[in-house]
A and B are shown apart, each in its own frame.
Chain A
Amino acid sequence: MWSYFKFEIKQFFTNKKNLAIYFLLAFATLFYAFKIAPTYNPIESVDYDEIEARYLTRQEFLDHMEGSDLNGVHPSVIYAIGIFKEINPIDKKRLDALDEGDLKQYADLTRDWYYFTNSFTYRNEAFFSYNSKYFIENNKYAEDDAFYAYLEQAVRYDAYSKADYELSLDIFEQRTALQTFERLSKGLLPIILIVCVLLLSIDIVKKDQRHPSILKGFPISDWKKLLVKMFVALLGSVALFAPLLIGFFIIGLQFGFGNFNLPSPMYAAQLDWHLEGQFEMMTLGTFIVQSLTLLFTWFIVIISVVLLCSILFRSEMVNFAVGLLLIFGENFYASRYVGYFWDVQNYPTSYIQVGQIISKRRNFYYMNNNLDFTLGLQLLFGLAGVVILLMIVIALNKRYKLMK
């Protein structure tokens, strides 16, 4: 078996298609690290000028209204004065903290700023509005997204205010290498990696059909061959992180690496989601470990499904189609808040947005309290287990031949 493993691993890592995948991923990573990461412009940035402009405008308004007779003025003016009197001192102190370089103080104040701002902005569009960047692309749910983001920021800054590690603006803006990985994990990165795994494993059985007389007589049983192939594909999938690590180091050298104790808020889905929306704190280390665990489980699912399809249909196109169906299957039913009506937590495909599952942003998206890391693992491992069992049963059948 060890000999076959060595043979397969050599095949895998000399396969031109596989090398092209690693090369393209490395290229994309370098492009991201050198071109995209430095220009990352978060909506919730630490923007001194913006805070100052907002502060000065409000202060000018307050100064203008100071001493004025408010009898007969529009109630919204009185409302604005009330709000501005609350928020402006916070902004002033935030500016002072930034001037003094007291980032802990800035974090402490910013936490309050986010909580307070959220409380008067959400569902109050007649008077206040969130950052306009939330409203691009006709986002019907911009209010909700901003509400979520503000709460998340508040929790992050709360953690920063109690931090026993050195703070930086890059940490606040989630630019460090580890935080970049966190951000990407909540976006397309897991799907890109899973598609890469699909492409890497798609021909792992079929490729043998080009060399039948060499391989057919190997003294190793079909089911063992399949398990070895699976293990090799898994190792190959883990190797996808090698190009990512290059990018990680480049970003780390530019913006710092961050640390595993940084906060990574998790939406507290068990609470009343809108009115009492809250977050629980988890460390970035926990987030990364859980994300990688779920991602790795997805790798196992994809590889085992590809192997099963390979022995059933013997067509790379079928493998590709079934793999894509698994990866993008969520799109057939995913829509905002649909989890309130359907038990989306019971479909393995609902767990494809790995980072969003761990941070429970997906629960917020679906309005479903039950999407959960543990349940996701159980479903995916269950699926992989059934598929692997089926594969072994077929391979053990006396009539079945892996190579025809």
Chain B
Amino acid sequence: MIEIQNITVQFGGNKVLNDISMTFEQGEMIGLVAPNGTGKSTFMNVLMNYVKPLKGKVVFKDSLSYSNKSNEVKIHKFVSMMPDQSDLYNHLSGREHLKMFATMWQSDVKLIDETIEALNMKHYVNKKTGTYSLGMRQRLCFAMQIVANTEIMMMDEVMNGLDPNNVEIISNLLLQKKAEGKIIIIASHLLDNLEKYADRIFLFNKGKLVDSNQIIEGFSQAQIKTIRVKNMASDTKKQFQELFPTIKLQTLTNGMSLIHLPSSEASLLSSLTSFLVERNVVDFAFGKVTLNDLYSMYYHEDQNVPAI
């Protein structure tokens, strides 16, 4: 369990984290989403005590907090953060890195081979990391944290530089770790992936962590709540607003228009479908607001498009 109590971090006059309070429970996978430089890494650094908050504290199990150096060591025995691929020792092999983490956290050494196997690292793990590609380095960093096998794992941009296959492999491993009861906190820009696996997703805004469900009610529930229309012409938008004045139409910077459905009644869905098809709009889908939409909505909403 992690209990974050009124954390405030300020750099100069800029409040990067502003009075954040929340609790993460064991077995939860938490997704953190935000544009660069809005506080994701700072948030994780506070959880690791790399950054001292101006106010507030983080409480872990057995009421442990970073109140002294001895507690920090105790906490770091069960909390870890994925290393950055640029920090790897180029003259050491991947296996040596894994051994380093396994011995430092005194975890089961069997995990080393199991993780190598699971992440398809066998063919390169004995070579020096200086020869690795970005994706190989990234997988190694992830593997290092997996072999450390701490109760709480934090990962900043874990999927960077990975191909879709490896994203899937890592995601499955994360699910496995989650099933073991670990708290996994992931900051990522691979929103589809995050949406698929995270139990709760938080967006950063003006130093606050906002639950995605707070932004869009029932975001995490699988219900038909939206029609997502690609490249909707402005004439069509106008006509839509005239015909359906009570339905909210929202256009995002990525060109996607969202028709927020007040209900999922068949007659309403039918009439909306007819409206679109009659105007030769064929690229649309029923479903819920995706994390990508939410991200666009939250951080880049086109202010010129009036929402009805």
Residues of A within 8 A of B (CB): 3-4, 6-7, 10, 14, 16, 210-214, 216-222, 396, 398-399, 401
Question: Is B250 engaged at the interface, CB distance under 8 Å to the other chain?
Answer: no
Q: Kindly count the residue-residue contacts between A and B in the assembled complex, taking CB atoms under 8 Å apart.
A: 57
Chain A residues near B52 (CB, 8 Å)?
399
Q: Which residue of B lies closest to A220 (CB)?
A: B73
Known: A7-B104, A211-B88, A214-B83. 18 other contacts (CB 8 A): A3-B103, A3-B106, A7-B103, A211-B83, A213-B82, A213-B87, A214-B89, A214-B97, A217-B80, A218-B76, A219-B76, A219-B104, A220-B104, A221-B69, A221-B70, A221-B72, A396-B69, A401-B50
Question: Is B224 engaged at the interface, CB distance under 8 Å to the other chain?
Answer: no
Chain A residues near B105 (CB, 8 Å)?
219
Given contact pairs A222-B69, A398-B69, A213 touches B81 in the complex (Cβ within 8 A):
yes
Q: Which of B70, B74, B76, B88 contacts A214 (CB 8 A)?
A: B88
A401–B83 alpha-carbon span in the complex (Å)? 18
Number of interface residues of B (CB under 8 A): 30
Given contact pairs A3-B106, A6-B103, A210 touches B87 in the complex (Cβ within 8 A):
yes
Chain B CB within 10 Å, residue with most, of A3, A6, A10, A220: A3
A14–B77 alpha-carbon span in the complex (Å)? 27
Given contact pairs A217-B48, A396-B69, A398-B69, A211 touches B103 in the complex (Cβ within 8 A):
no
B233, chain A: closest CB distance, angstroms:
48
Chain A residues near B68 (CB, 8 Å)?
398
Contact A211 B89 (CB under 8 A): yes
B2, chain A: closest CB distance, angstroms:
15
Question: Is B55 engaged at the interface, CB distance under 8 Å to the other chain?
Answer: no
Question: Interface 1/0s, chain B 208-245, versus A by CB < 8 A?
Answer: 00000000000000000000000000000000000000
15 contacts between A and B (CB under 8 A): A3-B106, A14-B91, A210-B87, A211-B87, A211-B88, A213-B87, A214-B100, A218-B76, A218-B104, A219-B73, A219-B77, A220-B104, A221-B69, A222-B69, A398-B68
Contact A3 B104 (CB under 8 A): yes
Question: Is B84 engaged at the interface, CB distance under 8 Å to the other chain?
Answer: yes
Chain B residues near A213 (CB, 8 Å)?
81-84, 87
Chain A CB within 10 Å, residue with most, of B81, B91, B104: B104
Question: Interface 1/0s, chain B 257-281, versus A by CB < 8 A?
Answer: 0000000000000000000000000
Chain A CB within 10 Å, residue with most, of B50, B81, B84: B50
A338, chain B: closest CB distance, angstroms:
47
B149, chain A: closest CB distance, angstroms:
12
A216, chain B: closest CB distance, angstroms:
6
Q: Which of B69, B81, B92, B106 contacts A217 (CB 8 A)?
A: B81
Chain A residues near B84 (CB, 8 Å)?
213
Chain B residues near A399 (CB, 8 Å)?
52
Question: Interface 1/0s, chain B 31-57, versus A by CB < 8 A?
Answer: 000000000000000001010100000
Given contact pairs A4-B104, A7-B103, A211-B88, A216 touches B69 in the complex (Cβ within 8 A):
no
B133, chain A: closest CB distance, angstroms:
19
A222–B70 alpha-carbon span in the complex (Å)? 10
Chain A residues near B91 (CB, 8 Å)?
14, 16
What 7 pairs across the A-B complex have the smallest Cβ distances?
A3-B103, A219-B76, A213-B84, A213-B83, A219-B77, A211-B87, A214-B83
Chain A residues near B81 (CB, 8 Å)?
213, 217
A14–B89 alpha-carbon span in the complex (Å)? 11
A396–B70 alpha-carbon span in the complex (Å)? 9
Q: Which residue of B lies closest to A4 (CB)?
A: B104
Chain B residues near A16 (CB, 8 Å)?
91
Chain B residues near A14 (CB, 8 Å)?
91-92
B53, chain A: closest CB distance, angstroms:
13
Chain A residues near B96 (CB, 8 Å)?
10
A140–B50 alpha-carbon span in the complex (Å)? 62
Chain B residues near A216 (CB, 8 Å)?
48, 50
